[in-house]
Chain A
Amino acid sequence: MTVVPVNMSEMPTFTLVCDGLSKAFGRRVICRHAAFSVASGESLAIIGPNGSGKSTIVRMLAGLSRPDSGTVAYALDGGELKRESWHRVIGLVSPELALYEELTGRENLDFGNRVGGWGKTSSDYDVVLEEIGLGGRGNDLVSAYSSGMKQRLKYAAAFLKDPMLLFLDEPTANLDEDGSRRVWEAVARRRVALVIATNEPEEAERAGSRFVAGQ
């Protein structure tokens, strides 16, 4: 496996800042006046039992849904990033995101690369597929993948993008031991602002700070 070394001192500093964030579905509170920030190299775990609203908070932080009140802002080297550009810096691995079943793994990566303008080459696809344990399976249709392989491909797509902010919602769902080890190693190699939504204590312990959903 070839992993290209990155000069982290040259990378821009990204910060997610959330202030006064509130969301409720009727009486069910997802979060109330939440305030936190996550910068490049830092990590936050959103924890809570099933149904507490972890995924909803991730969606709000990623700009995929709107809060009832409060703000989410992205800053890049101190300057605020416009909401229209958020999609360029986000990597998301989530049960609420799927890749195209009728395309192959490589075709999915190629589509993301072309439409997102990630500036990657075919050999970059091989590197990231190898890194995540899908080497040699990139030309198979995603519909033929197991659930664990689909989860790995989501990581490959997220990593290929070189995100500055990485959301991992149920990060090791469907992954075997090898898959879990590979993704955590791959995450550790990247200097991203990391947000993990999980109800697994071991996964939450990887994060520097925590936020409890449903309060």
Chain B
Amino acid sequence: MPGAALSPGSKIWAVFAKDTRSEYRTRYAVNALLLFALVTLTAMSFAVGGAGLSPLYASVFYWIIVFFSALSSLAQTFVKEVETKTATFLKLTAPDDAVFFGKWGFNLALLLVLQIVLTPLFVVMLNIGVERWGLWLATGLLGAVGLVSTATLIGALIAMAGVRGALFSVLSFPVLLPLLVVLIRVTEVCFGGGTPEQVGDGMLVLVAYAGVSTAAGWLLFPFVWRE
């Protein structure tokens, strides 16, 4: 019986590589992601002018851009599979674990690309003074993992549902809100505001959220993916 020979890692890599190659040729998700982020950042930059932002507001703006950019594109990896009828091929070919972690990896790469492009532009265009770069990078990475784990599962859920529309935002928002609040509080410290106590507790929550959301996504995915 075929299917057992390759390691799970190779199968996850195959899904990731397929999605990356498809994205490279179509720019299906990355265009929406970067366009939304850059348009929002430009609008904010004009609105703020040279006035400068407090650490708290700067942190809020940064994560709002990342959050809504993610909402605009992370669900597309599954929606596209269903709309183009390739989901059936995927279901009859790939193990569920490989699909989840392959898509998870692709979404994470997409979000990290967004952050790599957005972060320097954000600092320059909004004239942000960053005091703790290392902490900001760690926060960005943990935030991306938490966002992606939740978005990947909910993306699969709405792709399998007949009615999509704004369902992704509606379902994601309450689940991601606690993550967003903590990300904002920790990032505020990176920009020189808040109190040091926000960091320790915040990082603990971010690590826990990233771990729990990834494990929950992995465990629940087969129930969502298989009708």
Q: Please tell me if the beta carbons of A115 and B89 are within 8 angstroms of each other in the complex.
A: no
B 49-67 contacts with A by CB, 8 A = none
Residues of B within 8 A of A12 (CB): 1
Q: Please tell me if the beta carbons of A116 and B25 are within 8 angstroms of each other in the complex.
A: no
Given contacts A65-B227, A115-B15, A101 and B93 within 8 Å (CB-CB): no
- Chain A nearest Cβ from B135, distance in angstroms: 38
- A77-117 to B contact mask, C-beta < 8 Å, 1/0: 00000001101111010101111111100010001101111
Q: Please tell me if the beta carbons of A112 and B93 are within 8 angstroms of each other in the complex.
A: yes
| Interface residue range, chain A | 35 or more
- Chain A nearest Cβ from B169, distance in angstroms: 27
Q: How far is the CA of A47 from the CA of B10 in the complex (A)?
A: 40
- Chain B nearest Cβ from A199, distance in angstroms: 21
B 15-38 contacts with A by CB, 8 A = 15, 18, 21-22, 25-26
Q: Please tell me if the beta carbons of A118 and B92 are within 8 angstroms of each other in the complex.
A: no
Residues of A within 8 A of B84 (CB): 98, 100-101
**From B2, B21, B89, B95, contact of A99 by CB (8 A):** B89
- Chain B nearest Cβ from A118, distance in angstroms: 5
- A164-177 to B contact mask, C-beta < 8 Å, 1/0: 10000000000000
Residues of A within 8 A of B6 (CB): 114, 117
Residues of A within 8 A of B5 (CB): 117, 119
Question: Is B94 among interface residues, defined by CB-CB distance under 8 A?
Answer: yes
Question: Is A62 among interface residues, defined by CB-CB distance under 8 A?
Answer: yes
Q: Please tell me if the beta carbons of B92 and A92 are within 8 angstroms of each other in the complex.
A: yes
How many residues from B make CB contacts under 8 Å with A? 31
Q: Please tell me if the beta carbons of B94 and A115 are within 8 angstroms of each other in the complex.
A: yes
Residues of B within 8 A of A117 (CB): 2-6, 10-11
Question: Is B130 among interface residues, defined by CB-CB distance under 8 A?
Answer: no
Q: Please tell me if the beta carbons of A116 and B94 are within 8 angstroms of each other in the complex.
A: yes
Q: Please tell me if the beta carbons of A103 and B18 are within 8 angstroms of each other in the complex.
A: yes
Given contacts A101-B84, A114-B6, A162-B2, A64 and B91 within 8 Å (CB-CB): yes
Residues of B within 8 A of A85 (CB): 1, 3
Interface of B is mostly: helix
Question: Is A45 among interface residues, defined by CB-CB distance under 8 A?
Answer: no
Residues of B within 8 A of A210 (CB): none
**From B4, B10, B86, contact of A98 by CB (8 A):** B86
- Chain B nearest Cβ from A169, distance in angstroms: 11
Q: How far is the CA of A87 from the CA of B97 in the complex (A)?
A: 13
Q: Please tell me if the beta carbons of A115 and B227 are within 8 angstroms of each other in the complex.
A: no
Q: Please tell me if the beta carbons of A102 and B25 are within 8 angstroms of each other in the complex.
A: yes
**From A63, A94, A118, contact of B2 by CB (8 A):** A118
- Chain A nearest Cβ from B59, distance in angstroms: 38
Q: How far is the CA of A107 from the CA of B86 in the complex (A)?
A: 14
- Chain A nearest Cβ from B159, distance in angstroms: 14
- Chain A nearest Cβ from B28, distance in angstroms: 9
Question: Is A157 among interface residues, defined by CB-CB distance under 8 A?
Answer: yes
Residue of A at shortest CB range from B88? A97
Question: Is A161 among interface residues, defined by CB-CB distance under 8 A?
Answer: yes
Q: Please tell me if the beta carbons of B227 and A112 are within 8 angstroms of each other in the complex.
A: no
- Chain A nearest Cβ from B162, distance in angstroms: 13
Query: What would 8 more interface pairs be, CB under 8 Å, given A87-B92, A164-B1?
Result: A66-B227, A84-B96, A87-B94, A97-B86, A97-B89, A103-B21, A116-B2, A161-B2
A and B contact pairs by CB, cutoff 8 A, 27 listed: A12-B1, A64-B88, A64-B91, A64-B92, A66-B227, A84-B95, A84-B222, A85-B3, A87-B91, A88-B4, A97-B89, A98-B89, A99-B86, A99-B89, A100-B18, A100-B84, A102-B25, A102-B26, A103-B18, A107-B21, A111-B93, A115-B11, A115-B18, A117-B5, A117-B10, A118-B3, A161-B2
Residues of A within 8 A of B (CB): 12, 62-66, 76, 84-85, 87-90, 92, 94, 96-103, 107, 111-112, 114-119, 157, 161-162, 164
